[in-house]
Chain A
């Protein structure tokens, strides 16, 4: 039948077109190897250690880079231990000079940027380079704002780089007084003033050693060509879709920890104690843009672990502690951990209506039923927030709940609103809240707040905006109320206290434009204090001071949940640390049998 010309051509075209496409490629990680399959809920921005700030980049980058210090995998409370450093630092009397030794024999991964493509040994110069690079003004860097005015001479270096044409023409040979290489394996760092959080800041991936060869070789492409010293190296990164990391054969090696907190042995977390790391040969990170496929993939056994999105709480968890029947049938395990964080609705203190109206702010706090909120959105598993220093941080105040306005009391709220109207001289104008997203979670969150406001006679308009707009509006002080949250990066609470210091006015972290001279004085004091009971007392006092003025309604502290299949071994979530893949292990045989299990259930 097919005799006509066009017809034949069409068929030919159909046959040819598929071959234009790159088609299937060879699998980089051998199928037989132990492959961990993980989900990312957003795309990682970069794999350049110097410019990392988002969680997703760090989840992947944590396995590739090794900063000086890290937290112990199993021990709680969290304990800082050396990673690429050789022992804890020697600190001078005045807390201004740190002398740190690094381990010998650490190699960079093999990479074409090195001579002979062989990874060379790491020296302290690579750490110093990482510091200087961060200060390079031409290298637009998300982490620099945190290091201003900390290390002697680094700010001068920052100014000095201004004269160059671009990032790569900067001459790094200019010395920085505060960063001194005593020998190839010892570095001395001088601080401008005592910086008690310094060691935990050194646990940040952004200060991992960076090879200058790599930066010069790859230039901007270093974003997708990480050259690190960690247990894994990047094999393939298809932007926006998936990443594959595989074992780094140059890694110095490490053993699985032999001690943990009580209960770890029973959980089987110490079964591998003392064994050589890492266990897993490769990790597939898949980026999921939608919740539905991520959740379905996990249930199908195509992902080894998964944190629970809000909407799947009910399906996964039934009672206070237990998993639902369906999950248990599938041998899915659940682990929860306190993730020091706080969710809040912030007030713009510069706003005419809210700024000088304490009763109104308090009334809003009383209008929100936190228990209900947590019930709806987190299935009752988060903790209601009375202050902003979360449980799990070292200066958490167990008595903060006595402070007062975090309970649900619509009647008193209505009374307070009457008082507020007197201050205003009029009925309260409709309030406007900025929401940092427009997905289902945010719209439901917004609806909930609107309801709560309405119940006490206030009108709330919710403005759902994309993140860049939201950030711009809050930073410029253009929002009235705004929903936000903060997660801890270390057990220290100074960062959340900093949100209320006058000198951190937005675009800094003080988005509330809260200003209290007495608080500022204490903050100056607290900034240079080292962890001690005295400091905890001071922090608690400062927290109460803020709570008096109520610049924000604090809603809840997060308790995070991770679901994992029983073939995924050594799973212990960590609130601060990344790079945990090396501890993980997969029972491949069990995993292969999951299909049969699913069939038998059906």
Chain B
């Protein structure tokens, strides 16, 4: 057996082990299925929209009832279970559509922050020296600026047509702003892990047989810290969903499509006139998703990272 196989054997047993442990936790599995349900819904909305945006189940623009006006929640039809917004559009459908917006933003932002953070962190940790100094300098600089200012600044910049020639408003603007500003944590983490592992035997062995640096990083080191990325991803995901709310409230989000953030911010002027359903629906949607994600993420962390495992 060469060292590659040993590695992959260790890895697969780690994952195998983790899933076995995870499956034993009933509550975490329930949460997993809730999250999976949200994802399935988002994918469904995405596909349905690209086939036919006027499909009744996802057409949030459809006007219910007579005039454009608020309708209270009523059980007459499925679409008015949560009432309607000021244009008579179903709150239920907007909330469901919001699943796609929220997950798309959180997913894209997570991917962006990992795509930036992981390679930079790995390179810094592995090569050390000047590379390390530069990467550390960049992320120290970023982490020295308060997050909220940074995100607002990025959102403002991305909204401007002077930089890119074209505007990046709307959804891409939101997830780019979040992604570009939040890769520091994962970068720091990966850098630390790589530094810890780069003197380990399998790396030294790989070096001895003449593996290239990129091969060592991508084939040997990163797979061994993959579980850290996954844990980080699952926990990050929740906070990105919450960020979207705040960004929408600040008026930097995509105003053209329903999003939970938009629905909640609308409530800051609607609640006083007794229109509680829009906000309640969006709040509940976020609450259930984050709760499930949080619990599942914890369980995943416990199972994947034995060192951090919580006492049972």
Contact = CB atoms under 8 A, between A and B. Distances in A.
B270 A469 contact: no
Contact of A309 (B160, B256, B269): B269
Contact of A376 (B68, B269, B270, B272): B68
B40 interface: no
B43 interface: no
B269 A291 contact: yes
Contact of B160 (A292, A440, A469): A469
Q: Which of A440, A446, A465 has the most CB of B within 10 A?
A: A440
B87 interface: yes
A482 B301 CA distance: 51
Contacts of A451: 61, 63, 68, 87
Interface in A367-389: 372, 375-376
A92 to B, nearest CB: 52
Interface in B59-81: 61, 63, 67-69
A315 B274 contact: yes
A312 B273 contact: yes
Interface stretch (B103-111, B221-229, B260-268): B260-268
Nearest to A311: B269
Nearest to A376: B68
A290 B274 CA distance: 17
Contacts of A446: 255-256
Contacts, number: 74
Contact of B67 (A372, A450, A454, A464): A372
B262 A465 contact: no
Contacts of B262: 443
B267 to A, nearest CB: 8
Given A444-B86, A465-B159, A311 B169 contact: no
B115 interface: no
Contact of B269 (A440, A454, A464, A465): A440
Contacts of B61: 451, 454
Given A311-B269, A312-B273, A438 B86 contact: no
A438 B160 contact: no
A114 interface: no
B268 A376 contact: no
Interface residues of B, number: 26
Nearest to A444: B86
A311 B68 contact: no
Contacts of B86: 376, 444
B269 A292 contact: yes
Interface string A425-445: 000000000000111111110
A292 B272 contact: yes
A311 B251 contact: no
B169 A296 contact: no
Contacts of B255: 438, 442-443, 446, 462, 464
B252 interface: yes
B257 to A, nearest CB: 10
B272 A466 contact: no
Nearest to A369: B68
B271 A437 contact: no
B252 A296 contact: no
Interface residues of A, number: 35
B272 A295 contact: yes
Nearest to A313: B273
A465 B159 CA distance: 8
Nearest to B266: A440
B270 A311 contact: yes
B271 A292 contact: yes
Interface string B121-133: 0000000000000
A376 B69 contact: yes
Nearest to A473: B161
B190 to A, nearest CB: 35
B251 A438 contact: yes
Given A451-B87, A465-B159, A466-B251, A292 B256 contact: no
A448 interface: yes
Nearest to B254: A464
Nearest to B161: A478
Interface string A286-310: 0000111001100000000000011
A309 B266 CA distance: 13
B268 A292 contact: yes
A444 B266 CA distance: 9
- Among B61, B251, B272, find the residue whose CB has the most chain A CB atoms closer than 10 A: B272
A126 interface: no
Contact of B273 (A315, A438, A439, A444): A315
A314 B272 CA distance: 10
Contacts of B63: 451
| Closest 7 pairs between A and B when the two form their complex, measured CB to CB | A438-B251, A315-B273, A291-B269, A311-B269, A443-B255, A464-B255, A295-B272
Given A375-B69, A448-B68, A466-B156, 20 more contacts: A291-B268, A291-B272, A292-B271, A292-B272, A310-B269, A314-B273, A315-B273, A376-B69, A376-B87, A438-B251, A439-B251, A441-B269, A442-B255, A443-B255, A443-B262, A446-B255, A451-B63, A461-B256, A462-B256, A466-B251
21 contacts: A290-B268, A309-B269, A310-B269, A311-B273, A312-B273, A314-B273, A315-B272, A375-B69, A376-B69, A437-B251, A439-B251, A441-B269, A444-B86, A444-B266, A448-B68, A448-B87, A451-B87, A461-B256, A463-B167, A464-B255, A465-B159
Interface of A: 290-292, 295-296, 309-312, 314-315, 372, 375-376, 437-444, 446-448, 450-451, 454, 461-466, 469
Interface of B: 61, 63, 67-69, 86-87, 156, 159-160, 167, 169, 251-252, 255-256, 262, 265-266, 268-274
